[in-house]
Amino acid sequence: MKQIAIYGKGGIGKSSISSNLSVNLASEGYEVLLIGCDPKSDSTINLFGGRRIDTVLDLYKKGITDPNKLIFDGYKGVKGVEVGGPAAGVGCAGRGILVALKTLNKDYYLEKGFDIVIYDVPGDVVCGGFAGPAREGYADEVYIVTSGEYLSIYAANNIVKGLFNLNVKMGGIIGNMRNIVNEEQKIESYAKEIGSQLITAVERNSKIHESEIEGKTVLEKYPNDPLNLKFKEIGNKILENKKSKVPNPTTDEKIRSILGGLY
Amino acid sequence: MMNILTPRPNPIVAALYTLRDLDVDVAVLHGPSGCGFRAARLLEEDGMKVVTTSMSEEDLIFGASDKLIEVLKEIDELFSPKTIGVVGSCVSMIIGENVKKAIIDSGLKDKAFFVEIHGCMGANTRGAIETLKAAMDFGLIDENEFQRQEKMLLLATEVESNSGMAKSKYTRPSRGADLRTVAEYIVNLLKDKKKIAVVLNAKKETAYLFADIPLAINLASKKYGGSIINVCNLSKIVGLSRIKRYAGDIINNYDSNGITIDYISGGLDEYPIAGKNAIEYLKDKDFDLLVAVGIPQALPILNKESIAVTNGPREVHPLEDAGYKYVTVEIASHSTVMGIRDIVLSELGEVIRDVAGIQ
Ligand SMILES: Nc1ncnc2c1ncn2[C@@H]1O[C@H](COP(=O)(O)OP(=O)(O)O)[C@@H](O)[C@H]1O
Ligand code: SF4
Ligand SMILES: [Mg+2]
């Protein structure tokens, strides 16, 4: 069993990759649990035909804390959880994640025999709460999603700083392409710079958002599309990955010079 | 800055006490149910209602403005208050609760005002200053009064860090000198017809307790002789009406016991400067012993035999270090002075009476 956390800049494709990866692994017979940790609660939406499942924190508010009732059956039998959180501009989402993880009770769900548990975590590490899924006892390793764009790598490096400070292992980088020059090379050079690896790069492909419009993953809408093989490849590499280690953050100047050198 | 380990007075409690001084009817702590518990209990005995919004884990995550609005409406119905002070706690302020908006939404903006402090964080005087500022903006006090009090509070912070428990990293508490030894020392001096200068330099309502020590010494002197110079910070003309009322109550008691005050060193909220005034007044006088009660750490050190009576077990060591021959502590000073209008028995005062054989 492996627990992983996916971090990366907002909008970079964490949830798309997490959900597509989940259903493709499930279609190969793996037991998958996907835990969305974004207060926006949109990580699992494509496992449920566009439906938003009740979030842990909304249920918690109603006094429902039985872990069985917080986990839902999604497409291909992937189990989905949304942590949920406050409306924008009020309360404390970070605290929400910590409380939700505690309520979910990992001792309980880890006993269920999942092959992989995926935490899809929002944005950069913004406060201690958002680092919760990366703490001891939760994710064994972290994967960062990034494109080759400067701001995306800059955000990735901030996350790497967080991992370094918290002494958390990183499994590698998953590239999600924005179609810029030498993109894969740029991401790969950055990965090497911080002592990590590029797992693979996902092409920019409109099938991802076409499926999303119908509340589906690519597997559900285009079962035979080769893109699914890409997600299976990512999943299997993650399951087999033995090369995770604590990364070393680099400097802003270094990022600029890596990217600048590849134009 | 030195990181001080000793737990210290905090802004939220200072804010509550200041609201009480301002005769606010209800204080609402926007925080968890245990927030400010000890102080809240004491202040209720003094007539001000103190409630919390009982914030829970859930409120911390989702915000608790609705709850605050609800609580404001509830207390308005329950207590029909004229004024309400809403005080921030660590919990509500970390998550950035919009308290001002909640007050407006509750429909009580003419009665309620917000004291923007972040619970237990920071110097206690900041809690008092923020409260006074909010009260000024709300129209409870004028700008002159605000400025006078602000100055006092800043001076008080200075006293604390120069000569109080904020002076060192960790201050051990102490019960101080044996009361009987100290009482016998004082009474024996009087029997030898010596002259004692007694300085009451008390803070607000604690004067009801500390004023008992000058009273006991004066009564002992009436029996055995010797003479007393009485210096008290009991001005009836400075400060909030509530504070002036305390001074008036104590002076009435002294009058009825035939005690004359030789010098009024300031008001009951002016202890940081009243201590200096007292020593200024005494420095050319001739006497054999100085007894300083209340906030002795606010008195400049005189090169004279001196006894200090303080309210905090953690003020004992700093005062001993400052050169006081004996330091005693009135342990119960905060709890015994709530909701009263006359001097109450102090521990040292009682032992002096016992040693002197007066009752
Ligand atoms: N490889 C891709 N090709 C095309 N669109 C993509 C790709 N990856 C993500 N998207 C689109 O980008 C948007 C943001 O992706 P999302 O997974 O929600 O980001 P995140 O979870 O990191 O905030 C979505 O509308 C998604 O469909
Ligand atoms: S402000 Fe915070 S720390 Fe202080 S008493 Fe209230 S809850 Fe406790
Ligand atoms: Mg997302």
Please calculate the CA angle A181-A187-A193 and round it to the nearest 5 degrees. Answer: 130
B302 touches A at CB < 8 Å: no
Residue at token pair 């280690």: A245
Q: How many CA atoms lie within 13 A of B182 on its CB side?
A: 26
Q: B196: which 2 tokens?
A: 């004692």
Q: Where are the alpha helices (DSSP H) in chain A?
A: 14-27, 56-61, 93-104, 106-110, 150-166, 183-193, 206-213, 218-221, 227-240, 252-260
- CB distance from B62 to chain A under 8 Å? yes
| Contact state of A95 with B95 under an 8 Å Cβ cutoff | yes
pLDDT of residue B245: 96
Q: For residue B172, what pLDDT is reported? A: 84
Top pLDDT among A69 and A110 is at A69
Per the structure, the count of domains in chain A is 1
pLDDT at position B260 over 80: yes
**Size of chain B in residues:** 359
Q: Across the interface, do B63 and A91 touch by the CB < 8 Å criterion?
A: yes
User: What is the percent of chain B with per-residue pLDDT over 90, rounded to a whole number?
Assistant: 84
Residue nearest atom 5 in ligand 2 by C-alpha distance: B35
pLDDT at B333: 67
Burial B189-208 (b: 16+ CB within 10 A, else e): bbeeebbbbbbbbbbbbbbb
pLDDT of residue B301: 87
pLDDT at B217: 98
Domain locations in chain B as residue ranges: 11-165, 179-356
Phi and psi torsions of B346, nearest 5°: -100, 165
- In chain B, residues with a C-beta closer than 8 Å to the C-beta of A92 are 60-61, 94-95
Determine if ligand 2 sits within 6 Å of the CB of residue B35: yes
B161 confidence band (pLDDT: 50, 70, 90):
confident
Output A263 or A243, whichever has higher pLDDT: A243
Above pLDDT 90, what percent of chain A? Answer: 83
Token pair for B180: 């009987």
Model confidence band, residue B336 (pLDDT cutoffs 50, 70, 90):
confident
Instruction: Verify whether the Cβ–Cβ distance A92 to B65 is below 8 Å.
Output: no
pLDDT in tens, A202-226: 999 999 999 999 999 999 999 999 9
What domain range is A122 assigned to?
2-260
> Which of A63-72, A123-132, B192-201, B220-229 is predicted least confidently?
A123-132
Asked if A93 lies within 8 A of B61 by C-beta distance, the reply is: yes
The answer to whether residue B136 scores a pLDDT higher than 80 is yes
3-class secondary structure, A190: helix
Q: What pLDDT band is residue B312 in, cutting at 50, 70 and 90?
A: confident
Please list, in sequence order, all residues whose beta carbon lies within 8 angstroms of the beta carbon of residue B151, skipping any fewer than 6 positions away: none
pLDDT band at B168 (very low <50, low <70, confident <90, very high): confident
Please report, for the domain that includes residue A172, its CATH number: 3.40.50.300
- pLDDT band of residue A198 (cuts 50, 70, 90) is very high
pLDDT at A262: 81
Atom number of ligand 1 nearest to Cα A42: 18
User: For residue A163, which phi and psi values (nearest 5 degrees)?
Assistant: -65, -40
Following CA atoms A150, A153, A159, A162 in sequence, which dihedral angle do they give, to the nearest 10 degrees?
Answer: -80
Question: Quick check: B94 contacting A, CB < 8 Å?
Answer: yes
Q: What is the mean pLDDT of residues B125-134?
A: 95
Angstrom distance (rounded) from CA A128 to CA A134: 10
What pLDDT was estimated at residue B85? 98
How high is the pLDDT of residue B3?
79
More confident residue, A130 or B88: B88
Taking the C-alpha atoms of residue A221 and residue A205, their distance in angstroms, rounded to an integer, is 14
pLDDT band at B11 (very low <50, low <70, confident <90, very high): very high
Asked whether the ipTM of the predicted complex exceeds the cut of 0.95, the reply is no
Q: What CATH code would you report for B179-356?
A: 3.40.50
pLDDT tens string B38-51: 999 999 999 999 99
Residue A86: band (very low, low, confident or very high) from pLDDT cuts 50, 70, 90? very high
Out of A71-75, B248-252, B320-324, least confident range: B320-324
Q: Is A14 in the active site?
A: yes
Where is average pLDDT lowest: A137-141, A243-247, B345-349?
A137-141
Q: Give pLDDT, residue A199.
A: 97
Sheet holding B227-232, edge to edge: B263-264, B227-232, B195-201, B289-294, B306-310, B326-329
Q: How confident is the model at residue A105 (pLDDT cuts 50, 70, 90)?
A: confident
Closest ligand relative to A12 C-alpha: 1
Residue A263 above 80 pLDDT?
Answer: no
In this prediction, residue B33 carries a pLDDT of 96
Secondary structure string (H, E, C) spanning chain B:
CCCCCCCCCCHHHHHHHHHHHCCCCEEEEECCCCCCHHHHHHHHHCCCEEEECCCCHHHHHHCCHHHHHHHHHHHHHHHCCCCEEEEECHHHHHCCCCHHHHHHHCCCCCCEEEECCCCCCCCHHHHHHHHHHHHHHHCCCCHHHHHHHHHHHHHHHHHHHHHCHHHCCCCCCCCECCHHHHHHHHHHHHHCCCEEEEEEECCHHHHHHHCHHHHHHHHHHHHHCCEEEEEECCCCCCCCHHHHHHHHHHHHHHHHCCCCCCEECCCCCCHHHHHHHHHHHHCCCCCCEEEEEECHHHCCCCCCCEEEEECCCCCHHHHHHHCCCEEEECCCCCCCCCCCCCCCCCHHHHHHHHHHCCC
Q: Is B94's CB within 8 Å of A92's CB?
A: yes
Distance CA A219, CA A209 (A): 12
**Mean of pLDDT over chain A:** 94
In sequence order, what are the beta bridge partners of A198? A173
Q: B51 CB under 6 A from ligand 2? A: no
Which stretch of A243-247, B57-61, B160-164 has the lowest confidence by average pLDDT?
B160-164
Ligand 3 mean position, distance from CA A8 (Å): 9
Which of B63-67, B119-123, B161-165 shows the lowest mean pLDDT across its residues? B161-165
Whole-angstrom Cα distance, residue B98 to residue B75?
Answer: 19
What pLDDT band is residue B164 in, cutting at 50, 70 and 90? low
Task: Judge if the beta carbon of residue A50 lies within 6 A of ligand 1.
Answer: no
Chain length of chain A: 263
pLDDT digits (tens, 9 = 90+) for A23-33: 999 999 999 99
pLDDT of residue B338: 85
For chain B, what percent of residues have pLDDT higher than 70? 98
Pair A122, A156: CB distance under 8 Å: no
**For residue A125, what pLDDT is reported?**
66
Strand partners, B196: B228, B289
Q: Is the CB of A16 under 6 A from ligand 1?
A: yes
Catalytic residue among A38, A120, A124, A140: A124
Query: Is there a shared CATH topology between the B11-165 domain and the B179-356 domain?
Result: yes
DSSP symbol at A62:
T
Is the confidence at residue B165, as pLDDT, over 70?
Answer: no
Name the token pair of A226: 């080769």
Tokens, residue B337: 């002075």
**Which CATH number is B11-165 given?**
3.40.50.1980
